[in-house]
Amino acid sequence: MDKTIEWVKEGEFGYSLMINQTVLPFEYKKEKIRTTEEMYNAIKTMIVRGAPAIGIAGAHGTALSAIELINEENFIEKLMQKADYLNSSRPTAVNLSWAIEAQKELALKNKNLPNKKISEILIENAIRLENEDIEINKKIGEYGASVVPRGAGILTHCNAGSLATVGYGTALGVIRSAYKKDNTIQVFADETRPRGQGAKLTTYELVKDNINTTLITDGMCSYFMRNKMINFVVTGADRIASNGDTANKIGTSTVAIAAKYYNIPFYIAAPKSTIDMNIKSGNDIVIELRDEDEVKIVNGKPICIDGVNIINPSFDITDNSLITGIITEYGIIKPSDLKNIFS
């Protein structure tokens, strides 16, 4: 698959190019993003989604902001404002703030250089982060594959594949690496209501890779676990607290609780950039609440009566006690030992 998001060099600077994930799997198209506002909207409306991919979008977006401001006075001050605006597009995924803060620090470090030179430095760093993402995911995949049982029935929730990253994927990176060693594995993909990332995106990726994949509804995992068709779970993450509590797509905690009951290993696959050592627990993670129409409207038509209350949290918190291990580019870490990879 092409890169989910990449910087395209064109003319003096270039632009950000991304796969539009809102039209998959029925249409494959790419969007050119050239301004701060376009990037904000792409992140907000989930044209680009998945914590690592959103992080790269933030890095690209900050570079685009610099290009927009290249002839402005008070360049650094205005750049900081635009970067903070970009960071407000989605509050839960820490990769977004991680990448934007890295770009802000780089700009401040070079604030005495000409505006054009600062813009070029930000572009170069965005491309570096973009390319590093794929290598990080391949390392995650290799470490994760080492704990996947032969002939495993693997459950994954939401989409933590190529489309959630620049390429290869975190949770699906583990599955891809496991499949290279053992093509008898089977994958069960939760549909992941309300936006259906599992149904639309995860199945799209895995079927194209010829990996045996079964789509199930979010409420079916316990049935398949009880009947011993699922014996391994791996998902991605949007933010991991210092104690190992993990925010991921809504429904992940339910899967983890069921896995604990049936004594099935439950792993999180995520890069170091998803770990937020500045917060103590999942209680400190801001959960994004999205529009009620995501729940109410299916294929352009309402599925419930007007007047019913709808609450649409985009993520939930999986308690660290439910997590067998966190698969990172540094190896598989116990939730209680995350501090070790920062020392």
- Closest by Cα among 190, 176, 196 to 222: 190
Residues 6+ apart with CB under 8 A from 40: 61, 85, 86, 89
Task: Give the count of beta carbons closer than 10 Å to the beta carbon of residue 310.
Answer: 12
SS3 content of the chain, % helix, strand, coil (to 5): 45, 15, 40
Does residue 291 have an active-site annotation? no
* Positions of E strands within the chain: 5-8, 15-19, 30-33, 153-156, 186-190, 213-216, 232-235, 239-241, 246-249, 266-269, 275-276, 297-298, 301-302, 315-318, 325-328, 331-333
How far is 323 from 334, CA to CA, in rounded Å?
8
- Taking CA atoms, 286 is separated from 88, 189, 279, in Å, by 12, 26, 11
CA end-to-end span of the chain, whole Å? Answer: 35
Helix (H) or strand (E) holding 121: helix 115-145
Task: Report strand pairing: 15-19 vs 30-33.
Answer: antiparallel
Widest CA span of the chain, in angstroms? 66
Burial 45-76 (b: 16+ CB within 10 A, else e): ebbbbbbbbbbbbbbbbbbbbbbbbbeeeebb
From the candidates 238, 245, 276, 316, give the one annotated as an active-site residue.
Answer: 238
Cis upstream peptide for 271 (omega within 30°): no
List the catalytic residues.
Answer: 238
